[in-house]
Structure 1
Amino acid sequence: MKISMNRICKSFDKAEVIKSLDLEIQDNDFTTLLGPSGCGKTTILRMIAGLEKPDSGEIWFDDSCVFSDKNRINIPPEKRNIGFVFQDFALWPHLSVFENVAFGLRAKKDTVNIKERVNEALESVQLSEYKDRYPSQLSGGQQQRVGFARAIVTKPDCILFDEPLSALDAILREDMRLEMKGLIEKLNTTAVFVTHDQMEAMSMSDWIIVMNKGRIEQQGKPENIYQRPKTHFIANFIGKSNWVESDSMFRPETAALKKKDGYREFPAVVSGIDFLGEKYNLYLNVHGKRWTVESSSRYSVGAEVSVYVNEHDIVTI
């Protein structure tokens, strides 16, 4: 399902959160809305779901209008055929895993073959043997899988994710990223994922839309967003940036500490060092600018080094 948002505006208490937004999410893509807290990404997600009403504009699912202030259209959430995976899992503590997954079907009075459909959803997230347990008897990762099974059991045209991994620890979060991406690919459905975590966005997405203060800063493939940022905000928000001038930068991993023909040389002094296991991060003073580069060797604070950068890796913004 393709989602189109046209000239969408939304304010809370006279504070404009979304500012005349035009946005398209392509059919069967895994699209991530990425940005800092308060940039409007969750508000966009909730407007797609019908949980928030825009002040103006239109929202289309393929060729069907689900919201239009001009034409007074506002299709309720339960009729939009959207799955929603919440940040806090939102499971009913008094219901078993089976009944939590079945809840949406029962609420819609869509109970034909309900047992088979719920069991199929639980099997897809590898929780069949836990169907009689209660949320308090599950780990965080298992609870998140229940939330995902509940979202897919209704066979939605699109699944929305509101920072679903933020409550998990770092190791489990990495495992769930791979698992969730794989499940979405198997379902062959449209997914919209909201996060402020750049690693999640880069590793999971087909397409990234970077938000800032209610507006789109840049959108594109993860590689393009990272390698060719279009604004200072993007360059500083995603990854690390070493600024050569006020309008040009390069990524730390593109630099070398050994001389290379055709590379620009920048004298620097080591001002700090982090040991990261497989490598070191060196913090450098380069004519008053603070740079970070990667190194396989340890250097002493105060050591003088040279940084070599290919001109093609320097991005002008």
Structure 2
Amino acid sequence: MSPAASAGGLLAHLEAHRGDVDLRLELTATPGRPVALVGPNGAGKSTTLAVLAGTHRLADGRIELAGRVLAGDGVDLPPERRGIGLVFQDYVLFPHLSVRDNIGFAVRVRTGRAAGRAAAEPWLERFGFTALADRLPAELSGGQAQRVALARALAGEPALLLLDEPMAALDVEVRAEVRAELGELLRGLPIPTVVVTHSRADVEALGDEVLVLEAGTVTQHGTAAELRAHPATPYVARLFASTPE
């Protein structure tokens, strides 16, 4: 067992094929140190999340999380048995469910509505949603919907959190505030997190470690400061020359 995985972390050796993407990468993530996966469109970022989550098959390699093999070595656990929470860029809240029932949905499916509502309560309080608990998603702002989606993912007590472009659907005016809150939250979680983005601001605020993915391969790995000071590819140079959103 790897040190990262035995400490509650993620160790993934991924080979996968999806459309024009041939993905080959190694990814390690430990609790309290979010990993930002950044790259241009078509680089394989979404494929990486799909393979980790179990919605796309691993062609070769191994995924180990908190000492448990999720895929590889003859194992291929279905998504519902992997213990992974996902937050998508459009949040995908259930429009007919209240904030409370959206947050408690994963627990509700497993053990019933009462348990789901009980599981939602600490997250309602933590995110300041107690007064909004009975509202429907259509009554929320973009920032509030993003927080509800995050609370829903965490209420299921996942062993790994995956976020796909978490700022993309937000208005520019609120991104900085939400980004700062999210960075603080991710660094305080007892589980590893992986954030997919194409944004310099997300990389700098949310990624303690940064993997640059180009054409399915990691072309640079380090901190945002290291990548900014010594870009290894033209894409990395352009990324850090851009104006943060």
What TM-score comes out, normalization by structure 2 length? 0.89
**2:39 maps to which residue?**
35
Structure 2: tracts of 5 or more residues without a match: 1-7
| Aligned residue among 207, 210, 216 for 2:209 | 207
**For the Cα contact (< 8 Å) 2:33–2:193, is it kept in 1?**
yes
C-alpha distance 112-73 of structure 1, shift in aligned 2 (>3 A): farther
Determine which of 216, 221, 232 is the counterpart of 1:230. Answer: 232
CA RMSD of aligned residues (A): 1.7
| 1:259-278 map, 5 Å | none
Distance across 2 between alignment mates of 1:63 and 1:155 = 16
1:60 aligns with 2:64: yes
Match of 2:22 in 1: 17
In the alignment, structure 1 segments of 5+ residues that lack a partner are 241-317
- Within-5 A mapping of 1:39-188: 39-68=43-72, 71-109=73-111, 113-188=115-190
SS in 1 for 2:58: coil
| Residue 2 of structure 1 pairs with residue 9 of structure 2 | yes
Output one character per residue of 1:71-124: Cα deviation in whole Å (capped at 9) or x when no partner: 331111111111111111101111111111111111222667543321101111
Q: Which has the larger radius of gyration?
A: 1
Does the 8 Å CA contact 2:9/2:28 hold for their aligned counterparts? yes
Distance (whole Å) between structure 1 residues aligned to residue 59 and residue 191 of structure 2? 29
**CA apart distance, 1:220:** 0.7
Q: What is the CA–CA distance in structure 1 between the aligned matches of 2:212 and 2:112, rounded to whole Å?
A: 37
For residues 111 and 72 of structure 1, what CA distance do their matches in structure 2 show? 36
Aligned length: 235
- For the 8 Å contact 2:18–2:47, the answer to whether it is kept is no
Q: Relative to total residues, which structure has the larger strand share, 1 or 2?
A: 1
Tell me which protein shows more helix as a share of its residues.
Answer: 2
The amino acid that maps onto 1:86 is: F
CA distance in 2, matches of 1:28, 1:50: 23
Write out the 4+ residue segments of structure 1 that deviate beyond 3 Å after TM superposition.
110-116
TM-score by length of structure 1 reads: 0.70
After TM superposition, give the deviation of residue 221 of structure 1 in Å: 1.1
CA contact (8 A) 2:36 2:195 kept: yes
